[in-house]
Structure 1
Amino acid sequence: MTTVLLLVLSNLFMTTAWYWHVRGGAQAVEARPLMLVIAISWGIALFEYCLAVPANRIGTLNGWSAGQLKIAQEAIALVVFGVFMVVVLKEPLHWRHLAAFACIMAAVGFLFTGK
């Protein structure tokens, strides 16, 4: 459970680091200096690493394989991004997003079957 919680928190930081600056459309994006955006995003991503690395170590110590850790991270990232996309970026959720989520969840099921 600790692994999943840390992965959720790390994904909140990474999604923010990658996408906070695209909020507001093309004019708003263009108005933000790229080097400043990169510097701010690196600062945010530092917190992601401080959570993701321990999550992966704890998961490994609890018997998770690297593949299981990665696919769990991807599933969590998809959920976190879906919420971020709707709440922060104000973009609508479509059936395609749900279909992609279902595919990732199927991958999670395959990797954790028999574990």
Structure 2
Amino acid sequence: MALSLPLLLLIISNCFMTLAWYGHLKFLPHDAPLWKAILLSWVIALLEYSFMIPATRLLATHGWSMGQMKITQEVVTLLVFVPFMIFLFKQPFKLDYLWAGLCLLGCVYFVFRSQ
């Protein structure tokens, strides 16, 4: 139960970061000046940091190592990015995303097994 808050914060953080990295491709005209895309992304990224920093601090207080935090964050990134890509950008799902997710689960196993 105590880990649910930092994991929820990680998920929210990744939603904002995915939007910051790729949202300009969907929401700004392709001929918009680059500075507008950068400014839009930075504003959204500020929201991302507002959730990511508390999440990592909470995980650190639970004794998580930096490696554990990073691998968990990568798993969350994939869990957020794939639906974002499919539903917002109408990209097709590929079975390779499932295999990539399974590889990340292997990473999770290895960084947490020594506890």
- Amino acid paired to 1:55: A
- Contact 2:9–2:51 at 8 Å: present in 1 too? yes
- CA shift, 1:29, in A, is 5.4
Equivalent position of 1:32 in the other structure:
32
Equivalent position of 2:71 in the other structure:
71
For 1:2, what is the secondary structure of its paired residue? helix
Equivalent position of 2:80 in the other structure:
80
1:20 aligned to which of 1, 5, 23: 23
Distance in 1 (alpha carbons) for counterparts of 2:29 and 2:106: 35
- CA shift, 1:30, in A, is 2.6
**Normalization by structure 1: what TM-score?**
0.91
Query: Which 5+ residue runs of structure 2 have no aligned equivalent?
Result: none
For 1:30, what is the secondary structure of its paired residue? coil
Distance in 1 (alpha carbons) for counterparts of 2:90 and 2:21: 16
- Amino acid paired to 1:90: K
- CA shift, 1:32, in A, is 2.5
Equivalent position of 1:47 in the other structure:
47
Equivalent position of 2:101 in the other structure:
101
CA shift digits 1:63-105 (9 cap, x unpaired): 1111000000000001100010001111011011111111111
Equivalent position of 2:14 in the other structure:
11
Structure 1 residue 113 corresponds to structure 2 residue 80: no
Equivalent position of 1:61 in the other structure:
61
**Normalization by structure 2: what TM-score?**
0.91
- Amino acid paired to 2:5: T
- CA shift, 1:114, in A, is 4.3
Query: Which 5+ residue runs of structure 1 have no aligned equivalent?
Result: none
Aligned length: 112
